[in-house]
Amino acid sequence: MMKVLWRKIHFLLALGSALFLFLASVSGFILGIEALLDQTKPQAIDSLEDISLKKTLEVLNLNIKEVFEISITEKNYVIVQGISEDGFERFYVDPKTGLKISSVTPTSPFFNLARSLHRSLFFKNTGRIIVGIIAFLLILLSITGLILLTRRIGGIKQFFFLTKEKNIYRKGHIILGKWFFIPVLLIGFSGAYLTIDRFNAFTHQKSIIKTYAKGEKILDLNTIRLKDVVRVSYPYSKAEHDVFIIELKDRLFTVRQGDFRTLSEEVYPLHHLLKQWNYYIHTGESDVFVALIVSLTALALVFFMFTGFKITSKTSLDFLILNNNIKEASVVILYGSETGNSYQFAKRLAKTLRKENHSVGLTSLNNYGIFPKAKSILILTATYGDGEAPSNADLFEKIFISSKQLHTINFSILGFGSKSYPKFCQFAITLQSLLEKQDNFLSLMPLFKINNQSEIDYCSWVSMVINKLK
């Protein structure tokens, strides 16, 4: 019954994180769009790997009055803090020409709000912890989801084939699962990592600091590509103790002004790089392609939740409410329900039988398994389309063959349908002959069919069942 277990875990995870996950997905989508928009701005430089730091320092020297600091953001913006023709300010520059593009303006309050919601739900550290847990649950959701998915479609190989599924919500859930399993896993992982990092889990890792003697090492700025640069702080004055500080993604140099002799080098620990990598993956700020993927994934999560709740709504909560010690039950009621009618009748039947002091278990046909204490099995099922199984009964025939009950079982099948269809109660008929073929299954009475949910017919079947069970 591993499948039922996985399904329960998957469902409980989804239920527990639903509200927060929804907020995180919606805000995440907004931020993904922001990242996409930011990459279309003129200050987003797409060829940072082709430009050397030396070249940039030279052109800035020619064109900018005074530079205090150059910083290169995750969004591939090159920002100069210094004095332009408009006085002291922060402004974007083109690192190839050294010309000012525009002044830095504050981020829009709307996106700040979305960011704050996404990171902490406006609850500062408490919120950050919740969001971190949600990210962790997202990892578990994608893993349990993958397990369910491979079982549902019958193996990993089936991933690349079209899925036969009638129910549009199920189909949507499966297709999204195939496409977005990896992005969801990565977003969950990177989100959880960033939260853990935020709480300084890795501070025990220290940088390695090397100092160099005079003339030992000259930093060749030609070999440094702008894409590796985070920040260059210029010397404050011409005094010798004032130095260049050149911070790269993985290390930091202090360099003497004039001859660029390296004074010291600080090599950052591994977690520093991991954080950058996770930030890159999670935000998509540096790359249009990643931004597009994360935006779509955020949107997909909303659809996952929608389709997920659509397919679970009626029956999944039952194991929480009824439960339904199915392993202990002497009478097991199985239902196959497409629109929920058969399920409603099955619930009523369970209630009635409990009043008659039977220990009753209730579950869908797809959750069939070995019921160790069962003496009787009652099946209530509708038929879908052209004599096929309803969606929560489509795996029954396969499972039924593979799980043999421990002792003899009395069974009765109640078929629901409408005589206006040519294949009236066809699936119930299929089941009746399937069960009759088994040696240890004894039919309590012939297959009983109900046309258009006839109340009278149902009641007469129930009274017959009660008599037989006595």
Footprint on this chain of another protein (rule: CB under 8 A)? 68-69, 81, 83, 88-90, 106-107, 109, 112-113, 116, 124-125, 200, 203, 233-234, 236-237, 245
Q: Which is nearer to another protein, 237 or 357 (CB)?
A: 237
Q: Which is nearer to another protein, 275 or 449 (CB)?
A: 275
Measured from the CB of residue 88, what is the shortest distance to another protein in angstroms? 4
Q: Which is nearer to another protein, 201 or 442 (CB)?
A: 201
Q: Which is nearer to another protein, 88 or 289 (CB)?
A: 88
Q: Which is nearer to another protein, 107 or 467 (CB)?
A: 107
Q: Which is nearer to another protein, 67 or 192 (CB)?
A: 67
What is the spatial distance between Cα 255 and Cα 246, in angstroms, rounded to a whole number?
A: 7
Q: Which is nearer to another protein, 75 or 170 (CB)?
A: 75
**CA-to-CA dists, residue 189 to 206, 358, 359, angstroms:** 24, 48, 44
Measured from the CB of residue 386, what is the shortest distance to another protein in angstroms? 59
Measured from the CB of residue 266, what is the shortest distance to another protein in angstroms? 10
Measured from the CB of residue 89, what is the shortest distance to another protein in angstroms? 7
Is the C-alpha dihedral spanning 140, 160, 308, 401 positive or negative?
negative
Instruction: Decide: 301 and 25 in contact? Cβ < 8 Å.
Output: yes
What is the residue whose two structure tokens read 């640069």?
229
In the numeric block, which tokens belong to residue 261? 């002799």
Measured from the CB of residue 273, what is the shortest distance to another protein in angstroms? 17
Measured from the CB of residue 191, what is the shortest distance to another protein in angstroms? 18
Q: Which is nearer to another protein, 82 or 172 (CB)?
A: 82
Q: What per-residue string of b and e applies to 385-421 under the rule 16 or more CB within 10 Å gives b?
A: eebbbbbbbbbbeeebeeeebeeebbbbbbbbbeeee
Measured from the CB of residue 162, what is the shortest distance to another protein in angstroms? 47
Long-range contacts from 209-214, C-beta under 8 angstroms, 24+ separation: 209/264, 209/265, 209/266, 209/267, 210/264, 210/265, 210/266, 210/267, 211/263, 211/264, 211/265, 212/261, 212/262, 212/263, 212/264, 212/265, 214/261
Measured from the CB of residue 323, what is the shortest distance to another protein in angstroms? 43
Which one, of 239, 416, 278, 395, lies nearest residue 337 by Cα? 416
Q: Which is nearer to another protein, 128 or 166 (CB)?
A: 128
What is the residue whose two structure tokens read 């004039």?
258
Helices 288-312 and 270-283 pack at an angle, to 10 degrees, of 70
Could you give the 3-state DSSP secondary structure of residue 426?
helix
Q: Which is nearer to another protein, 109 or 422 (CB)?
A: 109
What is the spatial distance between Cα 208 and Cα 400, in angstroms, rounded to a whole number?
A: 63
Please, what is the Cα angle at 317 between 311 and 322, to 5 degrees? 140
Measured from the CB of residue 86, what is the shortest distance to another protein in angstroms? 9
What is the spatial distance between Cα 130 and Cα 120, in angstroms, rounded to a whole number?
A: 8
| HEC secondary structure over 159-205 | HHCCCCCCCHHHHHHHHHHHHHHHHHHHHHHHHHHHHHHHCCCCCCC
Measured from the CB of residue 90, what is the shortest distance to another protein in angstroms? 6
- Sequential DSSP letters for 337-401: -SSSHHHHHHHHHHHHHHHTT--EEEEEGGG----TT-SEEEEEE--BTTTBPPGGGTTHHHHHH
Measured from the CB of residue 402, what is the shortest distance to another protein in angstroms? 56
Q: What is the CA radius of gyration of the chain?
A: 32
Measured from the CB of residue 72, what is the shortest distance to another protein in angstroms? 13
Q: Which is nearer to another protein, 268 or 345 (CB)?
A: 268
Please, what is the Cα angle at 224 between 91 and 106, to 5 degrees? 20
Helices 124-153 and 2-39 pack at an angle, to 10 degrees, of 120
Q: Which is nearer to another protein, 203 or 440 (CB)?
A: 203
In the numeric block, which tokens belong to residue 79? 């920002």
